[in-house]
């Protein structure tokens, strides 16, 4: 990925005719830092969510249902990639974990015709000061 | 729940017209022990998986898609509920976390007509000796 600190990590799907097993996160993964909180965020077709910006938490996200396009913007002072955008689409057909460090803003869109599900295994607990929502116009992007 | 150590913990769904946010696990939850590994297990309609038996890991499971019936059996020597069965159906319409301690066997079935998804936030990393699969006949149950 172009933005410093953003990772896309392939995750294994173990095929099974009764239903697949899909890896998410292990405490001995090279990019595992800390477990703060896990939550799902469903996103309906056509919807864009974001920008979201964390001050402390790294977001570790997988999309086990559907496909979601994530766009990132780096507003960090002193970052070698300050001012850059990046984007990736992950989901059932490209099953990977997207890891976004604190300070990097992200927005995400479900461009498909069915609901998608995002799981975020955040490194820190949510708190009012830790997470903020910015209007989409904050960092203009042509989707 | 009837079996000693098995918990069903209500989890919050935060309604949102763009797609709900569904809580899973926080490191300050009263029943949080340790984060070992998270993985999804999809289960197709009509399928039964199990019995699964862990020697060390507590399984903390939610069902964000579909509905799944879990049946538990307590084979633990010295347990006050040894020999007992228990069961619960969790899923989108009864969104709760089912927490099953090591030593308690469980099997699960998707009785619906669509695929379901289970997320397990296990307290320990998977290893060959830690987890075993037993044939369904091991602990007879009339589904």
Q: What is the CATH number of the domain that holds B16?
A: 2.60.120.10
Say if the Cβ atoms of A18 and B115 lie within 8 Å: no
Q: Is residue A57 part of a domain?
A: yes
Q: Is residue B143 part of a domain?
A: no
**pTM summary value:** 0.96
Say if the Cβ atoms of B47 and A18 lie within 8 Å: yes
Q: ω before A93 within 30° of 0 (cis)?
A: no
Say if the Cβ atoms of A22 and B39 lie within 8 Å: yes
Residue A81 belongs to domain spanning: 7-15+36-138
Say if the Cβ atoms of A41 and B21 lie within 8 Å: yes
Q: Is residue A23 part of a domain?
A: no
Q: Is residue B108 part of a domain?
A: yes
Q: Is residue B39 part of a domain?
A: yes
Comparing alpha-carbon positions, the chain A residue that sits nearest to B26 is A37
Residue A137: φ, ψ to 5°: -70, -15
Q: What is the pLDDT of residue A35?
A: 97
Query: What is the tally of structural domains in chain B?
Result: 1
Q: What is the pLDDT of residue A119?
A: 98
Q: What is the pLDDT of residue A68?
A: 98
- Residue A71 contacts by C-beta under 8 Å, 6 or more apart in sequence? A50, A85, A86, A87, A106, A107, A108, A109, A141, A143
What is the C-alpha separation between B49 and B106, in angstroms, rounded?
9
Per-residue pLDDT tens listing for chain A (143 residues): 899 999 999 999 999 899 999 999 999 999 899 999 999 999 999 999 999 999 999 999 999 999 999 999 999 999 999 999 999 999 999 999 999 999 999 999 998 899 999 999 999 998 888 999 999 999 999 99
Question: Which residues of chain A lie closer than 8 angstroms to B40, CB-CB?
Answer: 20-22, 24, 64
Report residues of chain B scoring pLDDT below 70: none
DSSP codes joined into one string, B4-71 = TT-EEEE--EE--TT--EEEEEETTSTT-----EEEEEEE-TT-EEEEEEESSPPEEEEEEESEEEEE
């Amino acid at each position: 990925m172009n933005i410093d600190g953003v990772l896309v990590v392939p995750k294994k799907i173990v095929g099974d005719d009764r239903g697949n097993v899909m890896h998410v996160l292990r405490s001995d993964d090279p990019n595992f830092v800390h477990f703060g909180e896990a939550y799902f965020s469903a996103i309906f077709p056509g919807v864009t969510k974001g920008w979201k910006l964390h001050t402390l938490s790294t977001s570790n996200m997988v999309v086990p249902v559907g496909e979601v396009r994530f766009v990132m913007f780096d507003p960090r002072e002193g970052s070698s990639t300050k001012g850059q955008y990046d984007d990736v689409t992950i989901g059932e057909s490209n099953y990977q974990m997207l890891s976004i460090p604190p300070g990097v803003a992200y927005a995400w869109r479900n461009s498909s015709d069915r609901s998608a599900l995002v799981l975020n295994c955040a490194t820190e607990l949510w708190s009012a000061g830790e997470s903020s929502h910015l209007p989409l116009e904050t960092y203009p992007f042509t989707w």
